[in-house]
């Protein structure tokens, strides 16, 4: 079945996902980290970070947060216009939204292409829209989801899969949340570049920024409301799993996977946490901590926020560093 470009824009939840060069713009890019626990925004213009604001979730007209009702916005000046005004910027903003979804609000899984009934991305998307069980088996959600298909290196794919890909990643997010994000962006008079779930953004960053050589890498993500574990071989994601906040079960499964997938070498385990504070996960999971000075080395130092008519500030917040990297990917 043939699909128009309009169809993809309407049904692709990670719109224009990490297009890497598709966009060339001088507009300012705002990257929003969105979670019921904490939300933040990083504002960048021409490779320069001009603002990083935390604890924005309860501010008037803040962007929608997963699993949290959107407050009334009657008579409220738009959030983005106020953000630009207090940083003395003009023009429109281009936005990237990073929702930190709960386990039930994000479907992300690796599927072997030979095991799929459909042989084309278009057919997979059509079947997912009709009935997700046709593609992913067990599915007990009553809500409508929007779906996307990426390859094992997190690049969008189209057309026939057989002979080109041995495995793909299927992503899904609640359709009503995606629609809320789009409506909020329209109210901001801004452009929505992408809705990227936080684990996917972290995986994309890891694949591009952290060298793994020939080792099998195990990346554990300590998120605001869940834990996620990815296994990477040959710079490809071969497994992704999400957990409620149960570190012990993750530790046990990580040990089992390491024996199966890296039997001849010590497992190369990396741990990333959204928090700048010492995360208890670091003490319970033995691994390479992607934090503090390590992040400084990977990202070339702290973020310097160059404010107009005020002293510059510096931050090494993991969320800020992730947001800056994404802003640069979209420039």
Q: Which two tokens stand for residue 133?
A: 């069980």
Model confidence at 326: pLDDT above 70: yes
pLDDT tens per residue across span 57-67: 989 899 999 98
**What's residue 267's pLDDT?**
83
Residue 312 has a pLDDT of 74
pLDDT at 5 over 70: no
Share of the chain above pLDDT 90, in %: 62
The topology (CATH level 3) of 28-102+178-198+304-329 is Nucleotidyltransferase; domain 5 (3.30.420)
For the ranges 54-58, 93-97, 140-144, 242-246, which has the lowest average pLDDT? Answer: 242-246
Predicted local distance difference test score (pLDDT) of residue 307: 67
Tens digits of per-residue pLDDT, 163-174?
889 999 999 999
The SS3 call for residue 289 is strand
Domain 212-299, CATH among 3.40.50.620, 3.30.420.40, 3.40.50.1980, 3.40.50.2000 = 3.30.420.40
Q: pLDDT band at residue 147, thresholds of 50, 70 and 90?
A: very high
Stretch 261-273: mean pLDDT: 87
Give the pLDDT score at 29: 95
Confidence of residue 9 (pLDDT cuts 50, 70, 90): very low
User: Is 28-102+178-198+304-329's fold the same as 212-299's?
Assistant: yes
Where does the chain show beta strands of DSSP type E? 28-34, 40-45, 48-54, 93-99, 107-112, 145-151, 167-174, 191-195, 217-222, 227-233, 236-243, 268-273, 288-289, 303-305, 313-315
pLDDT in tens, 25-56: 457 999 999 999 999 999 998 888 999 999 99
pTM over 0.85: yes
Token readout for 240 is 């992704």
Average pLDDT along the chain: 87
Helix (H) or strand (E) holding 16: none
- Is pLDDT above 70 for 78? yes
Which pLDDT does position 71 carry in this prediction?
62
Query: Mean pLDDT across the stretch 96-104?
Result: 96
Residue spans of the domains in the chain: they are: 28-102+178-198+304-329, 103-172, 212-299
Higher pLDDT: 296 or 203? It is 203
283 — pLDDT class (breaks 50, 70, 90): confident
């Amino acid at each position: 079945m043939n699909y128009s470009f309009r169809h993809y824009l309407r049904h692709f939840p990670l719109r224009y996902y990490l297009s890497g060069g598709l966009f060339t713009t001088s507009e300012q890019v705002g990257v929003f980290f969105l979670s019921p626990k904490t939300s933040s925004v990083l504002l960048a213009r021409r490779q320069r970070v001009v603002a990083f604001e935390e604890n924005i979730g309860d501010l008037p007209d803040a962007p929608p947060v997963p699993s949290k009702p959107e407050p009334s916005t009657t008579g409220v000046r738009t959030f983005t216009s106020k953000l630009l005004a207090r940083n003395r910027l003009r023009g429109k903003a281009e936005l990237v939204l990073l929702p930190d979804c709960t386990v039930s609000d994000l479907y992300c899984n690796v599927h072997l292409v030979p095991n799929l009934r459909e042989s084309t991305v278009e057919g997979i998307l059509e079947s997912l829209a009709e009935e997700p069980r046709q593609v992913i088996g067990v599915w007990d959600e009553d809500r409508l989801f929007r779906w996307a298909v990426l390859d094992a290196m997190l690049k969008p794919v189209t057309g026939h899969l057989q002979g080109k890909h041995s495995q793909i990643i299927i992503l899904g997010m609640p359709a009503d949340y995606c629609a809320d994000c789009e409506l909020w962006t329209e109210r901001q008079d801004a452009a929505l570049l992408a809705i990227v779930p936080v684990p996917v953004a972290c995986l994309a960053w890891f694949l591009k920024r952290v060298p793994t050589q020939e080792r099998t890498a195990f990346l554990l993500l300590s998120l605001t409301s869940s834990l996620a574990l990815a296994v990477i071989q040959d710079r490809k994601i071969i497994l992704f799993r999400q957990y409620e906040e149960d570190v012990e079960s993750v530790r046990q499964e990580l040990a089992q996977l390491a024996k199966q997938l890296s039997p001849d070498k010590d497992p190369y385990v990396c741990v990333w946490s959204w928090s700048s504070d010492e995360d208890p996960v670091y003490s319970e999971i033995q691994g390479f901590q992607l934090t503090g000075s390590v992040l400084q080395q990977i990202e070339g130092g702290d973020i310097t926020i160059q404010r107009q008519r005020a002293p510059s500030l510096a931050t090494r917040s993991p969320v800020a560093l992730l947001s800056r990297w994404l802003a640069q990917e979209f420039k």
